[in-house]
Amino acid sequence: MKRFLSILSIFILILNACQQNMKTPEGDFSIHAIVEGIDTVIFEKIEANDLLLIDTLFAIDGEFVVANSLEGSAFFLLRTPEGEGINLLIEKGEKLEITGKRLGWNQNYTVNGSIGSTKIQELNSKLNTFEKNMDFIYEEAKNAKQEDYVKIQNRFYSILAEHSEYLKNFIDSNLESKSCILALFQAIKGENILHLNTDFDYYKKVSQNFEKNWPESTHTKLLSKIIKTAYAPDFTMEDINGELFTFSELKGKLILLDVWASWCKPCRVANPEMVELYNKFHNKGLEMISISLDGTPEQTSPKEDWEKAVSNDKLTWTQLSDLKGWDSKIRDSYNIRSIPYTILIDQNGLIIGEDLSHEALNKKISEILNL
């Protein structure tokens, strides 16, 4: 009997110790979570370009607690050692209650006690639905007949437009919450859904809001850098007559940059389309600049090759080249990886289109010039 009481006493002590471990420690915020099937959790703070380790937590039957210091609000990540987890936006003073399952954790959890984290959960839920719809379309396209491609493509763009509109509405409704930046940068298969060039107003809107409300945030600094990349970099280069040309001299005009080379067969095939665009829109407000990547090691007379191609293809607008081939400074300035490559720049110097098809260029230029 005494031995039984001794064992019972030890069991009670262990139970009490476990219960004490699950008591939420003190801090500016706290998290109490029960995640089925989890034993180890990594807790990190999310900065703009880095993850800062806060703690490594060990769960008992999937249960764990954590608290930490916090000024204002911040993004955090709870994840397994393998990388699966959930993002949180925590305000000072919040006490979070989280439940979920380890398998598919980011798609199968609930969070209470945190307004920002609830908003993130909403974004994740919408993204999961969007991804499932897109995956269905991708699979459908693989086995589709040619006559069905247009219908499938239309559904693709319809679903994409619907989700893009949701993200824009989310941003407009949550500008006073840091969660708006997650809507701005939401991506599928590694590609942002809202693009800097086509959705610049929203990038600018979020950036200005972060500068106003959280000027010292690393995310504010990142947004500021991104905004700057949306504007066409200035450059100076010799034209075909040996005269220096400075890009900023055309400030205030709609500009189409065309990057090509005399040795590039696809470029030469596309040149008649460039001529067509110039003839159609130049007198209505479009300026065109062609920049040649002639000057490769394989060329013995790059300037002659360039001049001959310009003459033969009847390219009558501004022609530039530093005759350095792929080492041309324009490649790095505009992140050019292949040619032909077109860049459309509006009257404010904002890049509004890149590598657009001939049809897309026609449509975009017509819209901007109100034709």
8 - beta bridge partners? none
In the numeric block, which tokens belong to residue 248? 């900023």
pLDDT at residue 2, rounded to an integer: 42
| Of the listed ranges 84-93, 136-145, 173-182, 329-338, the one predicted with least confidence | 136-145
Residue 5 forms part of a structural domain = no
Query: Are residues 82 and 133 part of one domain?
Result: no
Query: Are residues 241 and 335 part of one domain?
Result: yes
Query: Are residues 352 and 244 part of one domain?
Result: yes
pLDDT in tens, 194-242: 988 788 899 999 999 999 999 999 999 999 989 988 889 999 999 999 9
pLDDT in tens, 230-287: 889 999 999 999 999 999 999 899 999 999 999 999 999 999 999 999 999 999 999 9
Residue 92 forms part of a structural domain = yes
Unique residue bearing structure tokens 């006490």: 95
pLDDT in tens, 38-81: 999 999 999 988 999 999 999 999 999 999 999 999 999 999 99
Task: Label residue 10 by pLDDT band (50, 70, 90).
Answer: very low
Beta strands 254-260 and 286-292: pairing type? Answer: parallel
Residue 1 forms part of a structural domain = no
| Of the listed ranges 23-27, 66-70, 129-133, 229-233, the one predicted with least confidence | 23-27
CA distances from 17 to 12, 14, 23, 35, 312 (A): 8, 5, 10, 20, 86
Mean pLDDT, to the nearest integer, of 24-29?
A: 76
Compute the distance between CA of residue 188 and CA of residue 138 in angstroms, rounded to an integer: 13
Task: Label residue 140 by pLDDT band (50, 70, 90).
Answer: confident
Among residues of the chain, what percentage have pLDDT more than 70?
A: 93
Task: Label residue 20 by pLDDT band (50, 70, 90).
Answer: very low
Query: Are residues 64 and 126 part of one domain?
Result: no
Query: Are residues 354 and 241 part of one domain?
Result: yes
Query: Are residues 345 and 280 part of one domain?
Result: yes
Residue 252: alpha-carbon gap to chain centroid: 28
pLDDT at residue 139, rounded to an integer: 87
pLDDT > 60? residue 11: no
Query: Are residues 240 and 216 part of one domain?
Result: no
Of 40, 72, 106, the one marking the end of a domain is 106
Domain residue limits at 203:
122-229
Residue 42 forms part of a structural domain = yes
Compute the distance between CA of residue 79 and CA of residue 308 in angstroms, rounded to an integer: 60
Query: Are residues 287 and 222 part of one domain?
Result: no
Query: Are residues 221 and 152 part of one domain?
Result: yes
Query: Are residues 296 and 266 part of one domain?
Result: yes
Identify the CATH number of the domain in which residue 49 sits: 2.60.40.180
pLDDT > 70? residue 14: no
Residue 115 forms part of a structural domain = no
Residue 280 forms part of a structural domain = yes
Residue 113 forms part of a structural domain = no
Of 73, 106, 139, the one marking the end of a domain is 106
Residue 204 forms part of a structural domain = yes
Q: Helix, strand or coil for residue 301?
A: coil
What pTM was estimated for this model as a whole? Answer: 0.69
Of 106, 135, 152, the one marking the end of a domain is 106
Compute the distance between CA of residue 262 and CA of residue 339 in angstroms, rounded to an integer: 11
* Total tally of structural domains belonging to the chain: 3
Query: Are residues 95 and 39 part of one domain?
Result: yes
Compute the distance between CA of residue 190 and CA of residue 292 in angstroms, rounded to an integer: 31
Query: Are residues 140 and 80 part of one domain?
Result: no
Identify the CATH number of the domain in which residue 272 sits: 3.40.30.10
